[in-house]
Amino acid sequence: MSDKSKDRRVVVTGLGAITPIGNTVDEFWQSLIAGKSGVATITRFDPVDVPVKIAAEVKGFDPDLYIESKAARRMARFSQFAVASAKQALDDSGYVINESNSEDVGVMFSTGGGGLDIMQEASVSLKEKGPRSISPMFLPALIGNMASCQVSLTFGIHGPTTSAVAACATGIYSFVDAYHFIQRGEVDMAVVGGTESFITDLGIVSLSNMQALSRNDEDPTKVSRPFDATRDGFVYSEGAASAILETAESAKARGAHIYAEVVGGAFTCDAYHVTAPAPGGAGAALAITRALKYSGLTPDDVDYIAAHGTSTPLNDAAETAAIKRALGDRAYKVAVSSNKSMIGHSLGAAGAISAVATIMAIQEGIAPPTINYHNPDPACDLDYVPNEARHMPIRAAIVNGFGFGGQNGVLALKKWEE
């Protein structure tokens, strides 16, 4: 890395969100700090024959508000979410992409599962109606890189367009990759995000048989309870979130509003198990430690952590252990919360949604709550901002994303200062 690239500070100038508690950033943020849950009975298919009947679905989404109708019909839902949130972020930033700058703009937009929903539908159609029922656009619609490619196509972006696949850490990978692209001087701006949408009976049954989902049949809004002693699995979710990352020099020259500064991040792998976290959170702790090191931060700089916090017994205990291992005594003085208590776990979109929430938390000076937290667990003994948002200064924050296969991603953010 050259000295010149080290001087390229990376800032956030635009945000977008399509979530179970709001289809704009403002709706999402206001619902988040109010502790509103987006979990309800599944409507995307009839859940009568599946063991889990709740999810956190995106409600009232109209792709025609963001995408030309013909193009929207050729996209899977996860790509529609990506383009919609990206358009929100671009509009928010005021950054105009044109022939003079399109080669210096990148897209780092990722998904965990891609179009598994249309794969399931096509499999049924092939069996029941035969080969002629399969659209020639079937494969181009479902593959995971289509989220980033559709963003590039829609907005005429000619720079590097990438798609990380890192399960539940995917959204974090996109942000950290974009930070590095800008730092190296390969692009001046990047559209960054994560997206997911495959709430299907196949997906629900698979995760349920894995014993990853809660089977609690009480009030759906109270089922997701990260770090609580009675937690028994996560709630499946969908959604997308985007951000515009650019050089501070570019943002200031445009007079753009700067939400926060991206200062680095890190990736590690547990190399332990396909689905379970490493005991004691060793891999996650290493990612946190390296993210702080690469960002020039110390544990004492961190005021808030957006936890991965899935509401599963193993994950929440391992993440708590990882935070304590990486931050030492400082861990007990940091606010830690999980938005999955309200919006469930959207897999490939989760890290991006948490990043957008954390950027808003830094700007507004508010730590979102972890709702449904009532029963302390001795294995989870940190400050989880229980049930009510907290007004507090946030100088620096980290965002955790830990995925199947043991992939760990941590993003570091700071309050913007000249």
Annotated catalytic residue within 149, 168, 180, 391: 168
In terms of CATH architecture, what is 3-254? Answer: 3-Layer(aba) Sandwich (3.40)
Closest CA to 223 of 40, 13, 82, 26: 40
Closest CA to 119 of 147, 140, 145, 138: 138
* pLDDT of res. 3: 36
* pLDDT of res. 299: 98
Q: Look-up: residue for tokens 């501070």? A: 248
Q: Tell me how far apart the alpha carbons of residues 354 and 169 are, in angstroms, rounded to a whole number.
A: 11
Annotated catalytic residue within 308, 374, 380, 391: 308
Q: Read off the tokens for 60.
A: 């009232």
Query: 3-state DSSP call for residue 328?
Result: helix
Q: Tell me how far apart the alpha carbons of residues 328 and 62 are, in angstroms, rounded to a whole number.
A: 46
Classify residue 3 by burial, with Cβ atoms within 10 Å: 0-12, 13-18, 19+: exposed
Residues facing residue 195 across a β-bridge: 111, 240
Instruction: Give the chain's count of helices (H) and strands (E).
Output: 14, 14
End-to-end Cα separation, the chain, in angstroms: 23
273 catalytically annotated: no
Neighbours of 227 (CB within 10 A): 29
* Contact of 141 with 75, CB cutoff 8 Å: yes
Are the folds of 3-254 and 264-414 the same? yes
Closest CA to 372 of 322, 311, 319: 311
Annotated catalytic residue within 158, 345, 380, 391: 345
Q: Is 167 left (phi over 0), alpha (psi -120 to 50) or beta?
A: left
Query: Domain 264-414 belongs to what topology?
Result: Peroxisomal Thiolase; Chain A, domain 1 (3.40.47)
Q: Read off the tokens for 268.
A: 């590690």
158 catalytically annotated: no
* Contact of 89 with 353, CB cutoff 8 Å: no
269 catalytically annotated: no
> Per-residue DSSP letters for 308-326?
---S-HHHHHHHHHHHHHH
Torsion angles phi and psi, residue 180, rounded to 5 = -70, -40
- Cα 190–Cα 303–Cα 390 angle in degrees, nearest 5: 100
Neighbours of 65 (CB within 10 A): 10
| pTM assigned to the model | 0.95
Closest CA to 250 of 12, 1, 4, 3: 12
* pLDDT of res. 1: 30
Within 8 A by CB and 6+ apart from 134, the residues are 122, 125, 126
* Alpha-carbon torsion angle 307, 233, 193, 27, nearest 10: -80
| Buried b or exposed e, range 148-158, using 16+ CB within 10 angstroms | bbbbbbbbebe
* pLDDT of res. 4: 40
Domain residue extents for the chain: 3-254, 264-414
Where does 270-394 show beta strands of DSSP type E? 304-306, 335-337, 366-367, 390-391
Mean pLDDT, consecutive 10-residue stretches, the chain (418 aa), reads 60 98 98 98 93 96 94 93 98 96 96 86 87 85 90 97 92 97 96 95 91 89 97 96 97 97 96 90 96 98 98 96 98 98 97 98 98 98 98 98 93 96
